[in-house]
Structure 1
């Protein structure tokens, strides 16, 4: 039996209405699943929260926040410092969840920071260095963000040098009437000195790049001062008094700049908070 045009049109209208109704029902169910997931998350039931958030996203893929909720729920299941295969797999799942977000939104700072943070917790220093190095050279992001990556890289190089120069066997204390002086002597192992020198030199280069990209960044100046101080200690170890004094003077200037910028940033923050507090709430 052939259907009339009117019958076909009526059938199509019914199908559209039914599909629209299903979409509406799914959106309601997705919202309920999100609420249940949020409740489970607050109660520390992170695996259940992940399941609920996934259900919500499957029911309504237009839920923009669901992928982030899923990633956070997985991240909370990872236990830092526990190096079992099962726990490391959870960490990798969390990274993948954040990477999926980043693939769709390359400018998502939260997802990027979470990935770097997780790799750091998993002691994958090479991956952290790779991600930060790539970010520092990325021309498509603001200079301030590139500078932040360089500051972190510089801080790691500072730590590498400091761990060697600060060893007690590499220091000599001199007691003065009004103060205590610390002198630095070359490590017994030449390889340790060479490593510290390499780290301090590379770190200072990174800090100077950060300062060039964002001259108003107090953290960049802090790292520059710290690394200049390392260079001064290493110069003293090498018996180069002139270089030591030069590095010390540069470090002092960097610390002055850092203090000035930090004070200005604090005043700006206080002014913004005062202005916000003085603004009457909307009626």
Structure 2
């Protein structure tokens, strides 16, 4: 689900990291990045700008090692040059392969986070760095599975909502992470039950036994409710946000697993199904619009 260059990775790195990713991948000018007013350039600052431009050129040509070296040189020459730090972090992030366990790959992820944190040391409200850390930590948390890293990633998306409360994407990612954690726990509870009760098979579509339901509700009920509220906020800000609707459907299925009343359970399952129908309608409408001359 989280393969490198997959739609999920693209939406995180090249959409959530909106400013930096767009500059690299869409050819936008550096003017889209935070503008730093410099009264007069020193020779070191001039060399730093030159190294930055060389790095951008190398990155666009897929020459990542050359790009990283150039961005690092720009950073060393002018430590306050935020663009150099942002580009350096994004160059590391672009090479990180989700799920690859090699130490070299993990080091790329750590370096990306470190460089984004360096940006926040200078500009604590820099959304490119905030989103970048959230994106990389999300990918690093998936394999090997690390719930603490997921929670840390979520905290950065929540920080984005505090700075720009009308951006729908960070609310979406909070919901995605809450679902990821609650789904994994649900799956593990069912697997443990099936292993410990020979002759019985608890299917994914069946309600949890009462004692497991109570345990699940206590541990993940608040997280599920948080995810639902966050996804609803994303949809309120972007009414045809079909990806958010798909995850809201998934969260309602997790909500169905924490209620004791069968009628309530069926109600949440119906709500989940209704949102899937809405997703299908939105996708169909978009397909029809694209097919029109």
Query: Do both proteins adopt the same fold according to a TM-score greater than 0.5, normalized to the shorter chain?
Result: yes
- 1:156 equivalent to 2:180? Answer yes
RMSD (Å), alpha carbons: 4.3
Asked if the contact 2:158/2:170 (under 8 Å) is kept, the reply is yes
- 1:210 equivalent to 2:230? Answer yes
CA, structure 1 residues 64+98, in 2 after alignment: closer, same or farther (shift >3 Å)? closer
CA, structure 1 residues 254+109, in 2 after alignment: closer, same or farther (shift >3 Å)? same
Q: 2:163 aligns with which of 140, 163, 186?
A: 140
Asked if the contact 2:90/2:112 (under 8 Å) is kept, the reply is yes
CA, structure 1 residues 256+166, in 2 after alignment: closer, same or farther (shift >3 Å)? farther
- 1:243 equivalent to 2:259? Answer no
Q: C-alpha displacement at 1:145, in angstroms?
A: 4.7
Q: C-alpha displacement at 1:151, in angstroms?
A: 1.7
1:172-251 correspondence runs (5 A): 184=206, 186=208, 190-191=211-212, 193-198=213-218, 201-214=221-234, 215=236, 216=239, 217-232=241-256, 240-251=261-272
CA, structure 1 residues 233+44, in 2 after alignment: closer, same or farther (shift >3 Å)? same
Looking at structure 2, the residues matched to 52 and 25 of structure 1 have their Cα atoms a distance apart, in angstroms, of: 14
Q: C-alpha displacement at 1:63, in angstroms?
A: 5.3
Looking at structure 2, the residues matched to 105 and 259 of structure 1 have their Cα atoms a distance apart, in angstroms, of: 41
Q: C-alpha displacement at 1:147, in angstroms?
A: 2.1
The answer to which structure, 1 or 2, has the higher relative contact order (CA under 8 A, 6+ apart) is: 2
Deviations 1:153-194 (A, max 9, x none): 3321442255258768312xxxxxxxxxx962646x955x55
Asked if the contact 1:53/1:66 (under 8 Å) is kept, the reply is yes
Q: 2:149 aligns with which of 82, 104, 127?
A: 127
- 1:52 equivalent to 2:84? Answer no
Looking at structure 2, the residues matched to 145 and 185 of structure 1 have their Cα atoms a distance apart, in angstroms, of: 32
User: In the alignment, what sits opposite 1:93?
Assistant: 111
- TM-score by length of structure 1 reads 0.60
- TM-score by length of structure 2 reads 0.58
Q: C-alpha displacement at 1:199, in angstroms?
A: 6.2
Gaps of at least 5 residues in structure 1 are 1-19, 172-181, 275-283
Q: C-alpha displacement at 1:113, in angstroms?
A: 2.5
- 1:82 equivalent to 2:87? Answer no
Q: Helix, strand or coil: the match of 2:163?
A: coil
Q: C-alpha displacement at 1:210, in angstroms?
A: 1.9
User: In the alignment, what sits opposite 1:4?
Assistant: none
Gaps of at least 5 residues in structure 2 are 1-39, 195-200
Looking at structure 2, the residues matched to 63 and 130 of structure 1 have their Cα atoms a distance apart, in angstroms, of: 27
Deviations 1:65-121 (A, max 9, x none): 32222223333565653353x654443232111112234344443322321232233
CA, structure 1 residues 109+252, in 2 after alignment: closer, same or farther (shift >3 Å)? same
Looking at structure 1, the residues matched to 278 and 219 of structure 2 have their Cα atoms a distance apart, in angstroms, of: 23
Asked if the contact 2:228/2:251 (under 8 Å) is kept, the reply is no
Asked if the contact 1:207/1:220 (under 8 Å) is kept, the reply is no
Q: Helix, strand or coil: the match of 1:82?
A: coil
Q: Which has the larger radius of gyration?
A: 1
Asked if the contact 1:57/1:67 (under 8 Å) is kept, the reply is yes
Tell me the matched-pair count.
235
Q: 1:68 aligns with which of 54, 65, 86?
A: 86
1:27-46 correspondence runs (5 A): 27=46, 29-38=47-56, 40-41=58-59, 46=64
